[in-house]
Structure 1
Amino acid sequence: MLMVVSQRFKQLKLQSQMIIMLGATAFLQTGLIGGFTVLYLSSALEEQMGQRALYIAKTVAAMPEIIRAVEQQDSQTLVPVAQRVADETQAWFVVIGDKNGIRLAHPTPDRVGKSMLDDDQDDNAQALNYGHDMIVRADGSLGATMRGKTPIYDSSGENIIGIVSVGLLLNTVFDTVAAYRNTILAVITLSLLLSVTIAIMFARHFKQAILGLEPVEIAHLYKERDATLESIREGIIAIDINGKITTFNRAAMSTLQLDPDSRLLGQPISDVLPGSYMLEVLKTGIPQYDQEVRTGPLTLVVNRLPLLSAEGKVFGVVSSFRRKDELDFVSAQLTRIQQYAETLRSQAHEYSNKLHTIAGLIEIGAIEDALKLIGQETHDHQQLIQMLLENVPDPVIAGCILGKYNRARELGLIMEIDENSRMVDVPAAIPREKIVSILGNIIDNALEATLRTYGNGGKIALSMTDLGHDLVFEVEDQGPGLSDDQKQAIFEKGTSSKMEIGHGYGLHLVRQFVVQLHGTISIENAEIGGSRFCIYIPKHIQV
């Protein structure tokens, strides 16, 4: 039977199970509390009734007329007095006996003159022989009662001459308890209904908190999550609010070169990855994207995102990472393609304009002017290319500069390159794509600032040197310049002097790359007007 009930219970939905369990718990709790209350009330009323009976007995024993009548064995005086006291105090009986336990007063006349030994012999002896006051619950000749017994002393107060026994029927107690029991049952019923209502509300809230899923569905999702994590080539590690690892995949173990048999779950992230910035994200709640981290011989590209509750509080952090060398090849190829494409596009556009000009000169018969333009164009371009070949032998950096030079001419601007510039000693350890990204974004920023402020004919200046321990790049523009506040804020993500949406990321990326290369960047007032950006990148670094 229990097996059948258990099986059917398991087939119920989670919400129904929770309502049944919480309702049963509430029923047991309220039932136990109610039962205890009834028992405690019954015991307290009986004790109170016993004290009242003893108090009446002591009052009767102290009455002078009772003392005299007992000394004189005067039952005729004692019987009406005892009856009057019983009526006034609503006692069931008041019995008075002499020192031998012979009844001198009793509600039933036939019992007067007979021994009290049949009514609580031991208790009577305690009162008559030792003078003890007694409260007892007994079933005597008049029914179940709470009895209070006390000795009667003579006029001197030294000798025991009799005993008074006052009884209050327990029916009064039972009636009182029954009246309270109904009230208690009503309260228990209301409490049970309230508890069931709260159980239903709690079950619904819990159901919403787990997105309406059943335990079986949650188990399936958990397995799917594990399978998904293992299928991802990136390493994944997650920690809880205490900084302990809650999730990881095999790619993480492999990438970090950890023992595959080690137990990571529940381990502090600071023990597994000392110095991990996941704890910083846990404190600040600020995500970190595309951070380069060196661990042993490896360089990793890491993203760290905080896990936020519905209230916006951080309750954990998840980190994804991948070996940088797996991304470098694709990134380098893409950078080269972009630079070559930019160079070719600018050159094509520039030469298209020149060809149209030459064609126009020929059509109007200005042959000498056409030849002069062709010679001047060839001379300027060949001079620039010759300078780049001699002073900037790296094809990626030279291609970037040539592309920006042509871009400036296309915009109607002049890009002056210091003839003493030199960029020959560039260590192989410094990624070329980062230098190109830094230089390209700074030049683009200078071109846009100059074009907006100065217009056609505006100039930007580029100088660079590899002398000493640093690679130094300086870019000047004829833009509006920057205030001290702007100099501090311009490298923040999304900060831009342009109104169009989508700007404000180039200089932020520049600062990220400069920091990753352990370099510095500063902004000064330029000699040609506008701003001068100075970038210093140390040659001997570990990246």
Structure 2
Amino acid sequence: MTQVTIAYILVVDMRTLPGRMRRWSLARQMLALQIAVVGVTVTGGAALAFLQARDLLVEEAAGKSRAVTVSVADSPSVLASLGDSVALQPYAERVRRETGVDFVTIMSTGGLRYTHPNPAQIGRRFLGTTAPALEGRTFTETYTGTLGSSVRAVAPVRDAAGRVRALVSAGITVERIGVRLRGQITGAVVIGLLGLSTGGAGTYLVGSRLRRQTRGMGPAELSRMYEYHDAILHAVREGLLLVDDAGRLTLCNDGARELLGLRGEADGQHVTELGLPSSLTGLLVAGENRSDEIHLTGERTLVVNVAVVRSGNRSLGTVVTLRDHTELQSLTGQLDAERGFADSLRAAAHESANRLHTVITLVELGRAEQAVAFATAELRAAQELTDRVVGAVREPVLAALLLGKSAEAAERGVELAISPDTELDDIGLDGRDLVTILGNLIDNAVEAAVSGVPPARVDVRLRADGTTFLLGVSDSGPGMDAATAREAFRRGWTTKGDGRGLGLAMVGQAVRRLGGTIDVGGGRGAVFTVRLPLRGRDVP
């Protein structure tokens, strides 16, 4: 089993932990598991080192024994002194001491010893395998003899004719190999303990850092927090953005993606790379607290709140919430139009009361003919405006808006004129968007006309030509140059200079939403021309 497999079993599969350990914090569990991994690794390494050292020492002993055996077997003095223990014993002992082996035994082909470290064993039979050597082959083996278990080699002694005349065996006892092995294992154990203590210290430091970062919570708590966090992000309809101190988007929920029209993977991108309107981008990178600001995207009106998150004096980024204000803004615009129309009716009723009192007074003074002429003239003027608007514009929402705006303009001393070629049936476009476009354009035109040279006048032209709805509004005001026209549809632009203008920005948004275009021209004043497509309609 590899160390990687051991680490996986101990660290990844948390289900194998005891019940009490599962209740520990994540940092504490990781500390215990890492110490276990380090301990297993060090123990496994020490065991492997022991086995390798043992095999190396055995192999070294076998090689050394073989070399000594072959060297003695090839010595001419051995062949010359065969059978003479008095001559061979000193020679064998000298070789044993000089080479460091534990025994050198010279024997007859029948296995009777001529030499031995214990002179009492001379003349006795050799304990071990001799058959391969009698066949002329040198071999090694581990065998238990008179000196105990030993790693030995056996080689034949040949004469000039190549016949096997005797055998030589040299070897090193296993006990001596064990002494050397224990010396090496002691060093390995010291190194292992040093590695274990170093690993434990490192693991403790890692665990301390992890404890600070996880705030002492356990895996179950972290998992539950992630599940709640993920569920909330996907459940809330409002948009939520987290922007770090470098201006990069670190979190974006489903609501924010829909409201901002984000596509693909937005997390990790800088807010300037998201393709948002410049005003909204500037707000996200400003790093300032903002409350309930209105911002426009391509098709939506958003209420934006920004809260800067700080740790001490250090800014950690900003939390941004987005609410869709499009429908409410449209309804507000429509309500403003209805309120204006109601105010116009009240003003007209008040004016009618004044005129009625005038008529009654003329009657009481006996000037009945003058009273009839006065009443007829006033009725004819009011009726002509109503008949002209209702007759030319059969779109009820726009007709009501025009009547209301006419009365408002009249109160401010501005003549609101309907172009003679205005002719409009029910065109099937969204009434709220049409109110937003026409109402705001007329309001801005009236403001411009009031500030211009008298007589103040606003002209409105509505017409459906083929598959295009044409809406034009011009005024007698001072007009605007090309640079001003480009800025006019930006959020916050206004002739008042207070930075709170929203009307023309909403006009541009509504036109884009309906797939149309808007042009700004000049002349005596400003001329706004809106073209909206009438898809799937055959309009004469």
User: Which band: TM-score by shorter chain?
Assistant: 0.5 to 0.7
Tell me the residue number matched to 2:521.
525
Which amino acid is 2:480 matched to? P
Tell me the residue number matched to 1:398.
399
1:97–1:69 CA distance, 2 compared to 1 (3 A) = farther
- Cα contact 1:95–1:165 (8 A) shared by 2: yes
* 1:497-527, Cα deviation, whole Å (9 max, x unpaired): 8753443x5444334433444x421314233
Residue 149 in structure 1 maps to residue 153 in structure 2: yes
1:144-543 residue pairs with structure 2 within 5 A? 144-145=149-150, 147-154=151-158, 158-160=162-164, 161-167=166-172, 169=176, 170-202=178-210, 204-206=212-214, 213=221, 281-283=263-265, 336-345=334-343, 384-405=385-406, 408=409, 414=414, 416-427=416-427, 429-447=428-446, 454=452, 460-477=458-475, 478-483=478-483, 487=486, 500-503=498-501, 505-517=502-514, 519-538=515-534, 540=536
1:193–1:141 CA distance, 2 compared to 1 (3 A) = farther
Given the alignment, which residue of 47, 64, 68 partners 1:60?
68
1:524–1:58 CA distance, 2 compared to 1 (3 A) = same
1:426–1:279 CA distance, 2 compared to 1 (3 A) = closer
Give, in whole Å, the separation in 2 of the partners of 1:280 and 1:408.
42
TM-score (norm 2): 0.62
Indicate the SS of the match to 2:168.
strand
1:103–1:37 CA distance, 2 compared to 1 (3 A) = farther
1:211–1:113 CA distance, 2 compared to 1 (3 A) = closer
Indicate the SS of the match to 1:401.
helix
Q: How many residues align?
A: 440
* 1:333-354, Cα deviation, whole Å (9 max, x unpaired): 765542132345578899999x
Indicate the SS of the match to 2:532.
strand
Indicate the SS of the match to 2:524.
coil
1:86–1:510 CA distance, 2 compared to 1 (3 A) = farther
Residue 115 in structure 1 maps to residue 155 in structure 2: no
| Deviation larger for 148-157 or 48-57 | 148-157
Indicate the SS of the match to 2:155.
strand
Give, in whole Å, the separation in 2 of the partners of 1:209 and 1:528.
72
- Cα contact 1:447–1:460 (8 A) shared by 2: yes
Tell me the residue number matched to 1:260.
none
Give, in whole Å, the separation in 1 of the partners of 2:384 and 2:225.
72
1:444–1:167 CA distance, 2 compared to 1 (3 A) = farther
Shift of 1:463: 1.4
Given the alignment, which residue of 41, 46, 49 partners 2:49?
41
* 1:313-366, Cα deviation, whole Å (9 max, x unpaired): xxxxx9999xx9xx7xx998765542132345578899999x9xxxxxxxxxxx
Which amino acid is 2:460 matched to? L
1:80-159 residue pairs with structure 2 within 5 A? 80-117=90-127, 121-122=128-129, 124-129=130-135, 131-136=137-142, 139-145=144-150, 147-154=151-158, 158-159=162-163
* 1:145-173, Cα deviation, whole Å (9 max, x unpaired): 4x241414436594443223221512111
Give, in whole Å, the separation in 1 of the partners of 2:473 and 2:161.
120
TM-score (norm 1): 0.62
Indicate the SS of the match to 1:471.
strand
- Cα contact 1:400–1:436 (8 A) shared by 2: yes
Give, in whole Å, the separation in 2 of the partners of 1:337 and 1:175.
97
Give, in whole Å, the separation in 2 of the partners of 1:497 and 1:107.
120
Indicate the SS of the match to 2:263.
helix
Shift of 1:426: 1.5
1:501–1:217 CA distance, 2 compared to 1 (3 A) = same
1:173–1:347 CA distance, 2 compared to 1 (3 A) = same
Compute the RMSD of aligned alpha carbons: 5.5
1:515–1:156 CA distance, 2 compared to 1 (3 A) = farther
Tell me the residue number matched to 1:254.
none
- Cα contact 2:330–2:436 (8 A) shared by 1: no
Tell me the residue number matched to 2:5.
none
Give, in whole Å, the separation in 1 of the partners of 2:70 and 2:298.
100
1:335–1:525 CA distance, 2 compared to 1 (3 A) = closer
* 1:14-62, Cα deviation, whole Å (9 max, x unpaired): x1xx345434433443333333322322222222223322332343234
Shift of 1:541: 5.9
- Cα contact 2:73–2:157 (8 A) shared by 1: no
- Cα contact 1:514–1:537 (8 A) shared by 2: no
Which amino acid is 1:479 matched to? G
Which amino acid is 1:439 matched to? L
- Cα contact 2:85–2:115 (8 A) shared by 1: yes
Which amino acid is 2:481 matched to? G
Gaps of 5+ in 1: 237-245, 249-275, 294-300, 313-317, 356-373
1:28–1:225 CA distance, 2 compared to 1 (3 A) = same
- Cα contact 1:61–1:164 (8 A) shared by 2: yes
